[in-house]
Amino acid sequence: MSKKYIEDNIEKLRKQRDENVVGGYRDLAVKTYEFLALKISEARKDYCNPKNHEISEAVFGTRESEARARGFIKDLKKSGYISVSNAGENRKIRITKEIDF
């Protein structure tokens, strides 16, 4: 994914913020980010490893949206807001920069 593509997408998200779109992509991405930040804070480490169904329940209110939760994690990672290392039980999700959209 090119830097230009990422910058264009972040600009679209900033516009959603300015228009206060609730339940839109930006709103759900921010909720996912905030949940991860909370889990890192609770773990008292620089990373967390919540299960996808936990993220789904916190953001969407149901366990049924695990695939969507994985999508938001992937997008936040590609955009440079979080880093994800390892997988499964050893996955470590870290916040790399503050939300600016």
Per-residue pLDDT of the chain (101 residues; tens, 9 = 90+): 577 877 877 777 777 777 766 667 888 999 999 999 999 999 999 999 999 999 999 999 999 999 999 999 999 999 999 999 998 889 999 999 999 88
pLDDT score recorded for residue 1: 59
> For the chain, what is the HEC assignment?
CCHHHHHHHHHHHHHHHHCCCCCCHHHHHHHHHHHHHHHHHHHCCCCECCCHHHHHHHHHCCHHHHHHHHHHHHHHHHCCCEEEECCHHHCEEEECCCCCC
Task: For domain 3-95, give its CATH number from 1.10.357, 1.10.3470, 1.20.120, 1.10.10.
Answer: 1.10.10
Domain map (residue ranges) of the chain:
3-95
